[in-house]
Structure 1
């Protein structure tokens, strides 16, 4: 079947990040001075630290400090070192919730996060004061709970840590203004404060990922796909028009490439065949619709590109180990969806 070219904008990043949703957050303001250190455990959620004032060190492994690319605005992959200095105005994002320490200096004695925040209720917030002297450092921290069903297809290509330096954030006006306004929201109990905070952090999350992914295309094969003239068009089609009856051949035509070359290049860059990537995007959307009790289950296969309900049922069960009906029952009953698998490798500073 012939398909008309996609009329959606060629901004594949916007299409890729569009489904991403936070389900809850825990945010906190840390006021620290003198000698101090906090170690956080591996988290199933994304984590961010924004340096409002002062500086600190973030440590992933025991290592000596490494130089950082502070002026170019480009991503720098750091070798075996895992020590990063954050200064005023810097933002560190841990997409996969990697365990780390943040402290006043390398090698400082640390206490567990739960020592300072024994209870982290979803939607909550708090203020923590610590250290051996009057506070001269202020951090905005958050644990970002996102729905695994909305995770972008190339999310697993992201490193363990993304650092966006202050000079880069100055060029991201909306992101910077949102970050600067969030500190005042910590601890607010006004009506709607929880929802406002959730949506604001969701914006920070998406804008941070967009800024980072734009600058990672030279260092990650999967993210290089975002700037490949042909593959990026196919990705836009997959993310914005997943319900159309695409085949590998029609996706190749959309990309302006031969079928064989397109299949090879797509697999080399993205890490999986185009048909597989399309299937996962369709099932991602199906999970979102199944979680919405207002959407009739019988309508979902057609809305995500399946002509056969049986084919949709089999694909969903093969991928997630349960039927669409069982998934809906779990989600509408408040149960969590399947965990996210990720394989981060390193950290990136921009």
Structure 2
């Protein structure tokens, strides 16, 4: 997998050699990357384009973007990023929906995606056709919507774009076959089709990220936060021990840092304060318990680290803009 990061860089990630067992903490921490990937909706489209062509896509908040080259090829260009060439069989994922341009040549300017596909509501599909005189390409493209509030700082710190070339996709047969089915123009349509499509794209996204997780576990230096033992350990504790009565002071002591140094390093590496990160993890689990279990609402607070039901109620309402009961009812009604 390639990660496309800072301007002018393009780093190849190779599969782990198997020498040395990754630390258990890194395994626990990296598994948290997959937590927010329960998709809430997908807009997918099939592109049939012939050169010359270029389409500009805006940033998508709370949305991962996926492009799979079925036939031909294209170039991906982003602001202050080195252009990336994709060929048939290659897959690129933008975990946080960064703005980018797709084109037959990296220097070509083009149309806005909004002009070509003005309506891109989750749960619908679209098609783009550009008839030129040059080489033809076919692509499967999708916007994968997830709950942005559930995406932690670690997920948001991923590179702007991740690339799996065709050979790497082929080494993941389930990913390869899922992408081919989704790209097919004659896939079966029937009852539950949109739900099946949603879960198939969700699986494709997780499968595409797995090689990255393997590499990060094998080479922690690939992600800055993993290079800091104190902050890395704190993230694991928040992810797995969020029911404990943590304070900033107790977290800092647990990892052997002063409060001020811990807070500053955490904010710099994770992108948010330790308190907000802890609240996010607790609210994420609370939302899951309310929507995926029949647990009485009164039993939720102690399971997510709140001894006071009133304190939990106030924190939940501040985080989601509604009470726990309204949240449970609203999700059930939507389902």
TM-score by length of 2: 0.74
What are the equivalent positions in structure 2 for 1:146-295 lying under 5 Å apart? 146-184=146-184, 188-212=188-212, 215=215, 217-218=220-221, 220-221=223-224, 224-225=225-226, 231-246=231-246, 257-260=255-258, 263=262, 266=266, 269-272=269-272, 274-291=274-291, 294-295=294-295
- SS state at 1:32 partner: strand
Unaligned ranges ≥5, structure 1: 1-6, 62-79, 335-350
Aligned to 2:10: none
Deviation at 1:41, TM superposition (A): 3.2
Deviation at 1:328, TM superposition (A): 5.1
Q: Does 1:21 align with 2:19?
A: no
Which of 64, 69, 75 is 1:51 aligned to? 69
2: distance between equivalents of 1:19 and 1:39? 27
Distance change >3 Å, CA 303–CA 168, structure 1 → 2: same
What are the equivalent positions in structure 2 for 1:306-321 lying under 5 Å apart? 306-319=306-319
Unaligned ranges ≥5, structure 2: 1-23
- SS state at 1:56 partner: strand
1: distance between equivalents of 2:316 and 2:301? 10
Aligned to 1:343: none
Aligned to 1:12: 29
CA offset digits 1:52-78 (Å, max 9, x no partner): 2211122234xxxxxxxxxxxxxxxxx
1: distance between equivalents of 2:320 and 2:192? 35
Deviation at 1:49, TM superposition (A): 0.7
Deviation at 1:304, TM superposition (A): 1.0
2: distance between equivalents of 1:137 and 1:215? 31
Distance change >3 Å, CA 195–CA 160, structure 1 → 2: same
Range moving further from structure 2, 323-332 or 179-188? 323-332
Q: Which structure is richer in relative contact order (CA contacts within 8 A, separation 6 or more)? A: 1
The CA RMSD over aligned residues, in Å, is 3.6
2: distance between equivalents of 1:109 and 1:276? 40
Alignment coverage as a number of residue pairs: 306
Distance change >3 Å, CA 24–CA 188, structure 1 → 2: farther
Structure with the higher helix share, 1 or 2: 2
Distance change >3 Å, CA 172–CA 82, structure 1 → 2: same
Deviation at 1:267, TM superposition (A): 5.3
